[in-house]
Structures are given as structure tokens and as C-alpha cells.
């Protein structure tokens, strides 16, 4: 009888990184029996030592994985200590050759092959909902100023007003992120029929739950991770325009969604392009299958 795949998931406690690593663990568990231990780590040697001492070494892992620069050293030391295979979910800050597998977003521009597996965007935990979408539920997700985008609050709020005016039958919710300016949240709260949820009031399960039921989702252009979560759920997804500072990985990642007909920019929607439901983007499952095919001896 095949043994469960023992995984140690190293976590730096950042929600975005945990979303990626837990997304891969969840996907592996859909294709194989899995026992996963979550190991909190800090950067540097102290984090590596902490990863070594818990859980008990009489249950060694076959696979160690993590996302975030703070997990790199602990991941490498732990994998070698227990003769486990290592997976890093990003383009690492140390040589890629040190890891058994690097799962890297395609927009980072790293060539695929050898120990590099490319994904369309960062992995996440979002799955399509179990039932039909509620035609009366809509969702707006906004980020904030970043090094890739400027922040035109007035233009963003006007776009949200336009969407709501076209769909008066929908009950709309909006959620911000840690980058969302207080003034933007206040402006959104002044829009009739829009309920605004503070990021601090959400949990890791809140967004997947809302994405599973929403008839359509609009995401501000700076929020690449939320855009990829939206299309992973299979929700019809629109992109709210923001002024771009410079072309780069963020723009490449969003362009990939548009080119794959998974998301619709605001300008195209205003010209008549419909917000059609895409085939759900299930990159975590594709990568999980690739891991198990690469190393059939894991299970």
C-alpha cells in the first residue's frame, strides 16, 4: 500500500506566500494522500534551526517546500538534513540549481527546463465553486499604489460607479488590500449599493468564498495576485484601469490573462466586449501533477 506523501511546508507568515505554498499542498492532496506539517520560519540561520527541530525528526519529510525569500535557507538546510526533495515557489534569491525544483511564474522571464517549471502566474488556493454562481452577487477588489502603477483614485472610483450603473440588479461588495489608501476606501463607501469590507476583517478563506459565488469580479490593475485568484475561480473577471509607471513583470502577468481571454480590460468592456466566464485557471493542480510525474517515488 502506498505511503502518504509527507510534506513540510515552510511559512514566513506572509499571507501571499502562504497562499502559494498552501495552494500547491492542497493540489497535491487532491492527487495523492498527503500529510503536511506547517513549519514557521524567520529569515537567516535562526529560522533554519527552528525548521530543523520541529516537528519530530522521527517523521521526516519526503518533500519540503516554501515561498518567500525568508524561507530559502531553512528550506535548503531542512531538505538536505532529511534527504528530502526541495521545491521553491518563486524565482529564488540564491542559485536555482540549489533546489530540486523551482516553480516560477512565466512572467519572470526565466527559461523552462531542468529544475524549472513555469506557471501562469503565482499559484493560489482558489478552486471553482461547487455550484452555480449567484447572478445577484458582484465583487470589486482594489489594491493600492505600487512601484509598477500610479494611483488615480478619482478615475478608479468612477470606473466602479460605471460598472454598478450597468448592473443595478447586482448586490456589490468591495474589498481593499494592505496597500489601499484610506481615502479610496472612504470614496468607495460613498457609492450607493456598494458594501466595503476592510482587509483587516477578512480571513484567508474569505476571498475564495466570495469568488466562488460572484457572478462577476472587477480587480484593479495593480492587483495581479487577486486577478489570478479571480480567474482561478472561473469568475467572469474585469480589470479596472490604472496609470502605469513602467512596463515590467506585473504588466506582463496581466497581459497574459488578457491574451488568454481569461480577463477583460475596462476599455474593452466599455467598447462592448462581454465579461464571459473563462475556463478556470487551475495552475496549482497542473503543477501538482507535474511534481508527482517527475518523482513517482514520492508516493
Question: Domain check: are 287 and 254 in the same one?
Answer: no
CATH of the domain at 227: 3.40.50.2000
Question: Domain check: are 264 and 293 in the same one?
Answer: no
Question: Domain check: are 166 and 189 in the same one?
Answer: yes
Question: Domain check: are 244 and 292 in the same one?
Answer: no
CATH of the domain at 45: 3.40.50.2300
Question: Domain check: are 109 and 165 in the same one?
Answer: no
Which of the residues in the chain have pLDDT under 50?
Answer: 1
Q: Is residue 278 part of a domain?
A: no
Q: Is residue 275 part of a domain?
A: no
Question: Domain check: are 139 and 39 in the same one?
Answer: no
The DSSP string of 69-107 is GGGHHHHHHHHHHTT-EEEESS--SS-GGGSSEEEEEGG
Question: Domain check: are 75 and 140 in the same one?
Answer: no
What is the domain extent for residue 159? 134-270
Question: Domain check: are 172 and 238 in the same one?
Answer: yes
Q: Is residue 49 part of a domain?
A: yes
Q: Is residue 149 part of a domain?
A: yes
Question: Domain check: are 114 and 189 in the same one?
Answer: no
Q: Is residue 156 part of a domain?
A: yes
Q: Is residue 276 part of a domain?
A: no
Question: Domain check: are 213 and 179 in the same one?
Answer: yes
Q: Which pLDDT score, from 0 to 100, does residue 49 have?
A: 62
Q: Is residue 87 part of a domain?
A: yes
Question: Domain check: are 61 and 153 in the same one?
Answer: no
Question: Domain check: are 148 and 189 in the same one?
Answer: yes
Q: What is the pLDDT of residues 49-75, one digit of tens each?
A: 665 555 555 678 999 999 999 999 999
Number of separate domains in the chain: 2
For residue 56, give every residue at least 6 positions away whose Cβ sits within 8 Å of its Cβ, in sequence order, or none.
none
Q: Which pLDDT score, from 0 to 100, does residue 248 have?
A: 75
Q: Which pLDDT score, from 0 to 100, does residue 44 have?
A: 62
Q: What is the pLDDT of residues 263-272, one digit of tens each?
A: 999 999 999 9
Amino acid at each position: 500500500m502506498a505511503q502518504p506523501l509527507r510534506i513540510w511546508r515552510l511559512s514566513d507568515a506572509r499571507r501571499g506566500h502562504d497562499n502559494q505554498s498552501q495552494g500547491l499542498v492542497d493540489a497535491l492532496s487532491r492527487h495523492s494522500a498527503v500529510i503536511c506539517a506547517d513549519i514557521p520560519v524567520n529569515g537567516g540561520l535562526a529560522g533554519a534551526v527552528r525548521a530543523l527541530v520541529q516537528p519530530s525528526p522521527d517523521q521526516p519529510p519526503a518533500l519540503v517546500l516554501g515561498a518567500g525569500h525568508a524561507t530559502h535557507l531553512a528550506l535548503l538546510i531542512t531538505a538536505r538534513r532529511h534527504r528530502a526533495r526541495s521545491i521553491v515557489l518563486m524565482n529564488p534569491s540564491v542559485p536555482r540549481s540549489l533546489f530540486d525544483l523551482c516553480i516560477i511564474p512565466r512572467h519572470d522571464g526565466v527559461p523552462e527546463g531542468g529544475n524549472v517549471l513555469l506557471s501562469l502566474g503565482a499559484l493560489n488556493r482558489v478552486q471553482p465553486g461547487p455550484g452555480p454562481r449567484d447572478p445577484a452577487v458582484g465583487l470589486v477588489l482594489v489594491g493600492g499604489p505600487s512601484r509598477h502603477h500610479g494611483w488615480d483614485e478619482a478615475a478608479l472610483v468612477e470606473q466602479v460607479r460605471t460598472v454598478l450603473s450597468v448592473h443595478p440588479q447586482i448586490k456589490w461588495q468591495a474589498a481593499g488590500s494592505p496597500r489601499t489608501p484610506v481615502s479610496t476606501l472612504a470614496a468607495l463607501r460613498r457609492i450607493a449599493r456598494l458594501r466595503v469590507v476592510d482587509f483587516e476583517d477578512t480571513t484567508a478563506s474569505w476571498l475564495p468564498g466570495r469568488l466562488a459565488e460572484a457572478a462577476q469580479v472587477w480587480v484593479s490593475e495593480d492587483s495581479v495576485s487577486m486577478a489570478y485568484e479571480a480567474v482561478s475561480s472561473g469568475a467572469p473577471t474585469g480589470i479596472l484601469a490604472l496609470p502605469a509607471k513602467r512596463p515590467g513583470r506585473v504588466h506582463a502577468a496581466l497581459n497574459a490573462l488578457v491574451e488568454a481571454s481569461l480577463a477583460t480590460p475596462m476599455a474593452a468592456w466599455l467598447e462592448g466586449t462581454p465579461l464571459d466566464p473563462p475556463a478556470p485557471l487551475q495552475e496549482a493542480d497542473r503543477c501538482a501533477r507535474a511534481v508527482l510525474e517527475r518523482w513517482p517515488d514520492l508516493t
